[in-house]
Amino acid sequence: MALQALRSSGVAFRKILSHFPEELSLAFAYGSGVYRQAGPSSDQKDLMLDFVFTVDDPVAWHSKNLEKNWSHYSFLKLLGPKMIASVQNNYGAGVYYNPLIMCDGKLIKYGVISTSLLIEDLLKWKNLYIAGRLQKPVKIIAMNENIVLRSALDRNLKSAVTAAFLMLPESFSEEELFLEIAGLSYSGDFRMVVGEDRTKVSNIVKPNIAHFRELYSDILHENPQVVYKAQQGRLEIDKSPEGQFTQLMALPRTLQQEINHIMYSPGKNRDVEETLFQVAHDPECGEVVRLGLTAIVRPSSVRQGTKGIFTAGLRKSLVYSSRKLHKMWRGWLWKT
């Protein structure tokens, strides 16, 4: 099962987790500090470890975390856990990040998101923010028995495959598929212009083909629309209008709605299913899907980036941004 491939943990990660309140429905680590990436930062020893904690009750969790880790928070801690939870849930992509934290001798960044908002993002791609993180290999450190969350995690992976299929030709390699999947949540992300190495997607995928294969192998073998030649690392999909319509109808709701908005100007009411049927017959179907992804990701990334100034505080925001810009600059030098 695809969800099982997400499961992996280490002693070091669990030790870090012990410094936080236990009431977590899901906790995972991700990024270059967890999975080796290609590029100039691959040999850095001081990489920041990235975590996401999913909680059922953000107010209660932040209240306990303020008692344990008061220094982690910006000035917003003075306004109390209810305000912190309100900022978390109602602004940006529904995540509250505390960056540049020294924990157990390691530099970490952790985000907190409510279980209900994560499930919504996984199923509908409302922001494609944490859902996008979970389309790439991550190390799951803790997970409770929430069946709805587990099902949503699996659905998110299947949706990622479907969206990638629509933007690929009839025949392609595993690496091409994984590059499309890894790039879904970066479509239109303003950080890819300022703040991130522009080869980031390739750097994520190329050293981790085996991890992507483990994550998506079952889904690809079970999908009736794809011929998966695993030994050759090649795939073939149905690119007929009928096949593309089936794929479009399986996309998350928000992406379907964005495609509908792209095809028809505001004020014109058009049934989403009719629009998707038309797009399925369009030679530019893949580009329309890509534009729909951009319409989700761009505003979400801008809002979350702006929110970070308040949740991290000005000083940490400046330090964090400078680290990102330095990483981007190293990427440019490494390519030349």
pLDDT tens per residue, range 120-131: 999 999 999 999
Weakest mean pLDDT among 7-21, 45-59, 216-230, 303-317:
303-317
pTM exceeds 0.85: yes
pLDDT tens per residue, range 146-184: 999 999 999 999 999 999 999 999 999 999 999 999 999
Chain center to CA of 151: 17
Sorted by where each begins, the domain ranges of the chain are 10-335
Task: Identify the CA nearest to 26 among candidates 218, 156, 126.
Answer: 156
Is the pLDDT reported for residue 103 higher than 80?
yes
pLDDT tens per residue, range 226-254: 999 999 999 999 999 999 999 999 999 99
> What is the reported pLDDT for 300?
82
The band of 27, judged by pLDDT with boundaries at 50, 70 and 90, is very high
> What is the reported pLDDT for 195?
43
Residues of the chain above pLDDT 90, percent: 71
Is the pLDDT reported for residue 196 higher than 60?
no
Query: d(Cα 254, Cα 125) in Å, to the nearest integer?
Result: 6
CB 266 within 8 A of CB 234: no
The torsion angles phi and psi of 108, rounded to 5 degrees, stand at: -130, 165
**More confidently predicted of 193 and 92:** 92
Range list of H helices, the chain: 2-6, 11-17, 58-68, 81-90, 115-124, 130-133, 147-166, 174-183, 200-205, 209-222, 241-249, 253-263, 272-280, 285-312, 314-335
